Structure 1
Amino acid sequence: MSLHRKTGLIFGALLALANSDSFAHSFFRADSVKVTAPGAAPKQISNQFKFTEGPAVNKKGDIYFTDQPNDKIWKYDTDGKLSVYMEKTGRSNGLYFDKKGNLIACADEKDELWSISPKGKVTVLLNDFEGKRLNGPNDLWIDPKGGIYFTDPYYQRDYWERKKPDLDGQKVYYLPKGKKEAVVVDGNLLQPNGIVGSPDGKYLFVADIRDNKTYKYEINADGSLTNRQLFVPQGSDGITLDEQGNLYLSGRGVTVYNAQGEKIQHIPVPSRWVGNLCFGGKNRKTLFITASESVYTLEMQVKGVE
């Protein structure tokens, strides 16, 4: 066979393979797939904090986040202005806005869930489980019906008098809208932390940081969870989703997995630890990263859905 003909056959076979769905899926899912904007890198906004956490975005695209050791909630607006929103926040950690614009907070000074109105009025939504003090609500997500899923790991705080938990185990809870009692939706985790759900309310993701695993669940009509599946063998502190169903895990930088659980990008962040992250800005294409003493922004090709 001539070299010319052999080359043509090889090229034809490669072309056919490249046009196949399996090849395209396996080839383009690697580092060639990027969710960050071309040439973008994390931009440090400030490094004046002690430990930043819990970013949440309002309808305008403004981002609120906590500096938990300093007991403050900060605001980073769509014009790039940074300001203190609230002091004496109950040592708030994870945050999330409800449909009415109330900021729901995991306030672990007394291990409560708070609702902070747009005018700053605090309402305690939950302060115990079956009469016992919660471990320390850490992160939360609100479903389309207004119910609150939250993780309750135990991290000993220096501002607590107690030295051990009142409850057995570290669990995931669901507080139905308008109710005053939560229910356990997964009690079989080592240390649940980051949590987020799909915008259609069908799926929930929970990171078990101690077990270094992140799980995906189906959400039932009553808020209970079924069909727990290992999504990726990596834990996380905080997590978020984008419009393509990609899941973002925090820790040593930011790691991004597609909807099939395949790693598509790792984003280095020049801080010792990334605590949490969310999308914000007017078009929801700015990834806001809380990283210990610093906060960063990163321009993206995709939009967030929270």
Structure 2
Amino acid sequence: MTKQEAREGEDDNTLSRRLFITAMGAGAVAAGSGAAWAQAPSPAGPPSTVTNPPRDFGPGGAPTTYFTDPDILSVDPLFNQYAQPNSAIVRLWTGALWAEGPAWNGQGRYLVWSDIPNNRQMRWIEDDGHVSTFRMPSNNSNGNSFDFQGRQLSCEHLTRRVVRYENDGAVTVLADSFDGKRLNSPNDVVPHPDGSYWFTDPPYGGQLYEGAPDVQGGPSNAGGRLNPRLGQAVGIGNARRELPTNCYRIDPSRRVDLVVTENQVPDPNGLCFSPDYRRLYVASTGKGPGDTGPGGKGDVHVFDVGTDNKLSNGRLFTDCMVDGVKCAPDGLRCDVDGNLWCSSNAGRAVGYSGVTVWTPDAKLIGRIRLPEVCGNICFGGPKRNRLFMAASQSLYAVYVNTQGAAPG
């Protein structure tokens, strides 16, 4: 063999190794191993959000190669019936500043969600996975949903209101005040079969990043050093927080009724009904801008819903502690069996952000681990059996073996 032939053989061997490594994914090689490729040890366990190097969730990442996704955890065997075998968590898109409020449009077969700081709503279309800006500006919208007539509902931080996008393209303001006072910053909204809409009103939009601070002297701008009008349209930046952090019901007549007080659930965030609409779940998140009290504690509360739409028997559903880690809830959705799926914000506790799943008796049965803090979730897809997760800068999805209980 000539020297030239030897060099060509070495080049071919190197190229083959590179192609093989690319196909298998970097996670197949033991980190820092000096052993030859043929002797590289296999992974000690399934790849997960806590492996080194971290798993690539994107469409170009290595396949999980396992029967069930290693980041879908059955805490209790009950969850096995809801985890779809051979379905992997996929990052569909990334590029947001803070992704929130996913909602599925069944007729259009698309998902809409909010990118709050970028003041826009995004849309993912199912047929080809195309993502585009759906609505900009969005008035720093947060939670979205679709009602039983297919109309989009949005909670707007900047304008401190709840709106409905009609089927002809018009916009209807459903609520912007209560008892003669401006709302704080509506966060999440859900429809009821009787034609009413229920929403939460914490203060999170009263900050520069996700809306506009109060005027000088308001709770979120007590010192008056911030100028809430900078970068805003005429008329924006002249409001101040006037109400406690409550939950409300918008009657079909457009009357706004108080249903849950701040004393019952401070800093309410996500909310959803049980499949039979006899329960209302409300997440209480952390302390918001301008709060003078202790604020939310990162837990979920539940109320019984009477035939007169009055709530009773309010109680703590779960403190969202998992393995000693606070998995603070945000968005909530129920499946058809009444299980509660909660987005999880565990901060820097890697492996605990994502989704937690609880039975109607508040038993933790499953978890979905994401590499980013999860803000909100919804069930979608044509069969409503795909869980969409808006998590920090990205949108994730995974098929599950159940369906969402409600539209949107």
User: Residues of 1 paired with 2:355 and 2:402: CA distance?
Assistant: 15
Is residue 281 of structure 2 the alignment partner of residue 208 of structure 1? Answer: no
Q: Note closer, same or farther for the CA distance 1:41–1:126 as it changes in structure 2 (3 Å cut).
A: same
Aligned equivalent of 1:250 = 343
Please tell me whether the aligned partners of residues 112 and 127 of structure 1 are also in contact (alpha carbons under 8 angstroms). Answer: yes
Aligned equivalent of 1:68 = 116
User: Residues of 1 paired with 2:213 and 2:343: CA distance?
Assistant: 30
Q: Note closer, same or farther for the CA distance 1:184–1:245 as it changes in structure 2 (3 Å cut).
A: closer
Q: CA deviation at 1:58?
A: 2.2
Aligned equivalent of 1:197 = 273
Please tell me whether the aligned partners of residues 386 and 399 of structure 2 are also in contact (alpha carbons under 8 angstroms). Answer: yes
Q: Note closer, same or farther for the CA distance 1:42–1:184 as it changes in structure 2 (3 Å cut).
A: same
Q: How many residues align?
A: 278
User: Which of 206, 226, 231 is the equivalent residue of 2:312?
Assistant: 226
Q: CA deviation at 1:292?
A: 0.9
Please tell me whether the aligned partners of residues 125 and 180 of structure 1 are also in contact (alpha carbons under 8 angstroms). Answer: no
Aligned equivalent of 2:241 = 166
Aligned equivalent of 1:18 = none
Report 1:39-188 matches (<5 A): 39-60=86-107, 61-79=109-127, 80-155=129-204, 156-158=206-208, 159-162=211-214, 163-164=218-219, 166-188=241-263
3-state SS, counterpart of residue 144 of structure 1: coil
**Residue type of the alignment partner of 1:205:** Y
Is residue 303 of structure 2 the alignment partner of residue 217 of structure 1? Answer: yes
Q: Which structure's relative contact order is higher, taking Cα pairs within 8 Å and 6+ residues apart?
A: 1
Aligned equivalent of 1:3 = none
Root-mean-square deviation (Å) = 1.9
**More strand as a share of residues:** 1
3-state SS, counterpart of residue 370 of structure 2: coil
Please tell me whether the aligned partners of residues 144 and 199 of structure 1 are also in contact (alpha carbons under 8 angstroms). Answer: no
Please tell me whether the aligned partners of residues 182 and 243 of structure 2 are also in contact (alpha carbons under 8 angstroms). Answer: no
Please tell me whether the aligned partners of residues 176 and 223 of structure 1 are also in contact (alpha carbons under 8 angstroms). Answer: no
TM value normalised by structure 1: 0.85
3-state SS, counterpart of residue 362 of structure 2: coil
User: Residues of 2 paired with 1:242 and 1:33: CA distance?
Assistant: 12
3-state SS, counterpart of residue 117 of structure 2: helix
3-state SS, counterpart of residue 404 of structure 2: coil
Please tell me whether the aligned partners of residues 246 and 258 of structure 2 are also in contact (alpha carbons under 8 angstroms). Answer: no
Please tell me whether the aligned partners of residues 157 and 186 of structure 2 are also in contact (alpha carbons under 8 angstroms). Answer: yes
Identity of aligned residues (%): 31
Q: Note closer, same or farther for the CA distance 1:247–1:32 as it changes in structure 2 (3 Å cut).
A: closer
Q: CA deviation at 1:73?
A: 1.5
Q: CA offsets, 1:183-209, max 9 Å, x none?
A: 243332221111001233211100112
Please tell me whether the aligned partners of residues 75 and 367 of structure 2 are also in contact (alpha carbons under 8 angstroms). Answer: no
Q: Note closer, same or farther for the CA distance 1:33–1:191 as it changes in structure 2 (3 Å cut).
A: same
Q: CA deviation at 1:119?
A: 4.1
User: Residues of 2 paired with 1:224 and 1:141: CA distance?
Assistant: 16
**Residue type of the alignment partner of 2:377:** L
TM value normalised by structure 2: 0.65
Unaligned 5+ residue runs, structure 1?
A: 1-27
Q: CA offsets, 1:278-298, max 9 Å, x none?
A: 010011111000001000111
Aligned equivalent of 1:238 = 331
Q: Which moved more, 1:78-87 or 1:283-292?
A: 78-87
Unaligned 5+ residue runs, structure 2?
A: 1-73, 220-239, 286-295, 321-327, 345-352
Aligned equivalent of 2:347 = none
Q: CA deviation at 1:68?
A: 1.1
User: Residues of 2 paired with 1:229 and 1:248: CA distance?
Assistant: 18
Please tell me whether the aligned partners of residues 185 and 224 of structure 1 are also in contact (alpha carbons under 8 angstroms). Answer: no
